[in-house]
Structure 1
Amino acid sequence: MAKTINEDVRVVVGIDFGTTFSTYAYAHKENKNDIFVNDDWPFYGRYKTPTALLYDEQLKLLEWGFPALAGRQRKKKNLHWIELFKLCLIKSIKRPTLPPGLSFKTAISDYLRKLGDSIKETLESRWPGLKFFRQVLLVLTVPAEYDNNTIAIMRECALNAGLIKTKESPYLIFTTEPEAASIHCMRSLKEYELKIGDSFMVVDCGGGTVDLSTKILLKGEKLKEAIEQNGEECGGSFVDKEFLKFLGKKVGRLAVEMVSKKHYGDLQYMIQEFCQFVKIPFTGKSEGFKSYELDLEQICPVIKQYVINEYKEKMEEDSWVVTIEFNDVRSMFDPVIEKILKLIQNQFGEDCSAMILVGGFSESKYLQSRIKNEFGARMNNKIYVPPQPMVAIVKGAVKFGLNQEVIADRILKWTYGSTDIRTDLGNNVFSRMIKKGTRVSVDEKVSRVYTPVSKDQMKMGFDLYTTNRDNADFCNDPHVNLLGKFSINVPDNDRAILYSLCFGTEIQATATDIESGEKYETTFELDI
């Protein structure tokens, strides 16, 4: 897609589909500075709604967002509360359990469909007659660690959700969450006393992942990548998992597992109580901390039937109240925060001038203090939390959609290549076209010329593979993945074909008959 939005587009919508909370923002291209974050969510007036779904026994979607959580303890049986399903896209962690018959793609598509309905209704009320599929550009943010296949799944889900009409639609583009946050924070850099040539690190602390991006400020309000983006699964929801481990020590691990399996809504209700009264207010300072008494008979009575043996005796002695002390809470945060600190340490460059914390989890006072204590001296205390850090990503997504030229270049996360000889039989030799770690300007091309290998060859096949290594021997090596393939006609077997890759917000692959000028083009998701 071109670097600037096409003439048909009137409105840009940024979509922050998060692990625990989601939202969207929008702006008209004639008023680029007026970016509106939706705050018209049921029950709450804040800027996000939970990434949650409620299904009935037949897996019919009943509610989404806040309403899906409002009735957690309904007496009706066989309801399915679904949360954290975005984590199913990450292969390196244990996937959340979903009801039998419900795939994570269906859950994501269902959620995006409802979010899309809200977007369409909002835009129609603001600009009646706006043609959604022709005059609206959607910018969907993704974690930095998503690979090409995962981004392709998100595009598939967006299609199933009715956000786009075709899978290859140019009206949906992607950017990473930390890159979007970097763009949003760019105009605050003068306030942070950064000048042209300085680099800054954005630490996006979300519910599921923590993503890092280090950018260099250029002239003309542009950014270039300093080092490759990085991320890991250590967001705020993992503190919730530590809370469940703590609870398991009080009532028995089996009891927690049974409630999670048979009474998921009750378990999540208890987690939300923990978040509201313990996790969110926690500052890491013992002064002023008050012990919290978790009354299981009131908050999660179904758990009692699964508590046995010495755990039951102790809980009956304590009247089914679990007391959470200061050191207990700190022990829930610390394993997660240690991972974040290590992630930041590994991202550091020698000349990083400032650090900006964004995302919902960045609002944690304890997390802020740990990061500042660890890196404050090294950063000359230039560690900042902008106003409303939870909306930095979605606003940055809108800004990126309005001006994609703001990103001057990126560093490739993957090595790209193709098969070495292009015949109908072919072979599996991997031929590298560009190496991971290479800095590429937006819309930069890499090309190679191929000719038919036999006199009777009527077609030439082209493909594109990726690997996380510098090179590969064969295209069927375990670490090599196929992005896609296509073929073109070659009426004369002595014709040369120019095969080019163009790295924009997506990879555009082009095969051009050099003599006739005939072209075949296709696009692949760029893992940015």
Structure 2
Amino acid sequence: MKMKAIKVFSTAIGYLKDQMLTNCKKQMTGIEESDTTWVLTVPAIWDDKSKQFMREAAEEAGICRDKLVLALEPEAASLYCMHLPIHKDSDNSTFGVFKSGEKYMVVDAGGGTIDITVHEVGENGSVKELHKANGGDWGGTNVDASFTRLLADIVGNDVFEKFSSDNKYDFLGLLREFEIKKRKISPDLNGLVTIKVPVRLSETFCKMNPGINIADVCTRNSKYREQLTWNIDKIRIKASLVKMLFRESCTQIVNHLKELFTHPAVNDVSFILLVGGFSESLMLQSEIREAFKNKKVIIPEEAGLAVLKGAVLCGHEPEKVSGRVCRYTYGVKTATKFNSSIHPKFKKILHNGIERCDDIFSIHVRVGQVVEVGEQQVKRTYTPVEPDQTNGVVDIYTSHDKEPTYTTDEGCTHLGKLMVDMPDTSKGMDRGVIVHMTFSGTEIAVTAVDRDNPERAVTTNVDFLG
């Protein structure tokens, strides 16, 4: 059965919301829903459209927009770790919380994504992002996928697909069993690792391969003959083969971190803060420590809960994050006087007898630029193209490029539109709309104001799903 994604997410969020309120009522705390600010964490590498999707899912679950805060997961983890009285580094020596001026990299290693940001501590204890959020889908579920590919390689893809499709509870039980084992796998592990597998997997194999014993398949398979044995509901795998399941994820993470440390804003960072559920993997910890012996690797207690606990701090102190790095270039579509030496002919339009170049990308903030949270960015004034124009239309665009020329360039996306009433046409073309963008929280507010009448102002959080 198919279901819209927003319905799935809103139902999950609604369940958590209702559980929290029910528990508060049982404990007779006197907390009402109207007293609560809800914090929803999202990966920092998500684009603006994905963030708005989560906001709308939360609103559909009954959470009011003005009671909802979106927190970036590595920022939440960072705030949590700054409140810890003491940390242990890779040498098991200890030191206090980060001091003013110190820089550190937050590696939020979750199940699906690896989310990486670089922060600097300000004089007032706030944190400022130094390098735009980045990462990839190299999380702990990649190790799970390597394990299931191993099983499918033995029994056959058709058998494994049939088993996982027809026996979903058993399949989830298999993944839970592997998750428990996964946390105990370390680089110095030797011998055999025993993992329970559902009997139904063996039964499915036998039904689809009459007369063949699954145990015999393992002994005949040249790839795994010396590596594992299978006895109905248990497989025993050599530790060396189990450790290989981590190789792809760990290698991708380490290689990405090495590339990051070549950037000027990052190469002098001496601390790596490792958080998230996958960060509790001894294999990942070892790989990062081995690759970055000149860095202090910090793994807080209950690293898997760092984002959750930090989210609470984000709700209480959202101002603790003072600056972020733009992941995109943001601007407004406009038209300028046509210049045949630099503008292509097909961009030429005629307005009020004047030749203009259409689709100009007027940049407000650039990708990689550090913006102060809550402060208005560059203000620009845009004039009407017709003397009798009674409203100013502001089309908002984004681009992956640092210096886009036209809003039609590859990588440019239309985000939304603002319209400001300008009923007084007595000044003809001598009017204007002032536009500025404010990066508050994890989203962008765009404001357009009539230059001659500041009371005529329109502000919007850009509709990235439009």
Report the counterpart of residue 414 of structure 1 in structure 2.
328
Distance in structure 2 (CA, Å) of the matches to 1:504 and 1:299:
51
Aligned counterpart for 2:432 among listed residues 496, 503, 522: 496
Match of 1:178 among 74, 95, 112: 74
Secondary structure of the residue that 1:443 maps to in structure 2?
A: coil
Find the aligned partners of 1:524 and 1:120 in 2 and give their Cα distance: 31
1:212-247 CA distance string (max 9 Å, x none): 121111212111112222121111111110001111
Q: Unmatched 5+ residue regions in structure 1?
A: 1-99
Cα shift at 1:475: 2.8
Asked if 1 retains the 8 angstrom alpha-carbon contact of 2:43 and 2:72, the reply is: yes
Helix, strand or coil: the match of 2:101? Answer: coil
Is 1:112 aligned with 2:13? yes
Residues 1:188 and 1:352: Cα distance change in structure 2 (over 3 Å): farther
Tell me which residue corresponds to 2:216: 314
Of the candidates 268, 276, 299, which is equivalent to residue 359 of structure 1? 276
* 401-410 vs 176-185, greater mean Cα deviation: 401-410
Write the deviation string for residues 3-44 of structure 1: whole angstroms up to 9, x where unpaired.
Answer: xxxxxxxxxxxxxxxxxxxxxxxxxxxxxxxxxxxxxxxxxx
Structure 2 counterpart SS, 1:151: helix
Q: 2:365 aligns with which of 425, 434, 439?
A: 434
Q: CA deviation at 1:308?
A: 7.0
8 Å Cα contact 2:366-2:402 kept in structure 1? yes
User: Which among 282, 288, 303 is matched to residue 389 of structure 1?
Assistant: 303
Pairing 1:81-480 to 2, within 5 Å after superposition? 100-125=1-26, 130-132=31-33, 134-164=34-64, 169-188=65-84, 191=87, 192-193=95-96, 194-276=98-180, 278-287=181-190, 289-292=191-194, 294-297=196-199, 301-307=203-209, 314-315=216-217, 319-320=231-232, 322-348=235-261, 349-375=266-292, 377-379=293-295, 382-421=296-335, 427-445=358-376, 446-480=378-412
Aligned identity (percent) is 29
Higher mean C-alpha displacement, 258-267 vs 359-368? 258-267
The one-letter code of the counterpart of 2:194 is: Y
SS at match of 2:397: strand
Q: Is the CA contact 2:434–2:451 (under 8 Å) kept in the aligned structure 1? A: yes
Conserved 8 A contact 2:418-2:448: no
Partner of residue 513, structure 1:
450
Q: Deviations over 1:316-367 (max 9, x none)?
A: 9855453321122111111111111122222322221211211111111121
What CA distance in whole angstroms lies between the structure 1 residues aligned with 2:202 and 2:35? Answer: 48
Q: Secondary structure of the equivalent of 1:265?
A: helix
**1: CA distance, partners of 2:448 / 2:66:** 20
Q: Which secondary structure does the structure 2 equivalent of 1:259 belong to?
A: helix
Q: 1:302 to 1:487 in 2, by over 3 A?
A: same
1:522 aligns with 2:438: no
Root mean square deviation, CA, Å: 2.7
Q: Matches of 1:520 and 1:175 in 2, distance apart? A: 26
1:70-85, aligned counterparts within 5 Å?
Answer: none
Runs of 5+ consecutive residues of structure 2 not aligned to the other structure: 88-94, 220-229, 337-348, 352-356
**Within 2, Cα distance between the matches of 1:335 and 1:263?**
28
Shift in Å, 1:176: 1.1
What displacement does 1:386 show?
0.8
Q: CA deviation at 1:301?
A: 4.0
Distance 1:120 1:427, change over 3 A: farther
Q: Which amino acid aligns with 2:235?
A: V
Contact 1:252 1:307 in 2 (8 A): no
Relative to the length of structure 2, the TM-score reads 0.82
Work out the number of aligned pairs and report it: 416
Q: CA deviation at 1:185?
A: 0.9
What is the TM-score when the length of structure 1 is the normalising length? 0.73
Counterpart of 1:429 in structure 2: which amino acid?
I
* Partner-residue secondary structure (3-state), 1:291: strand
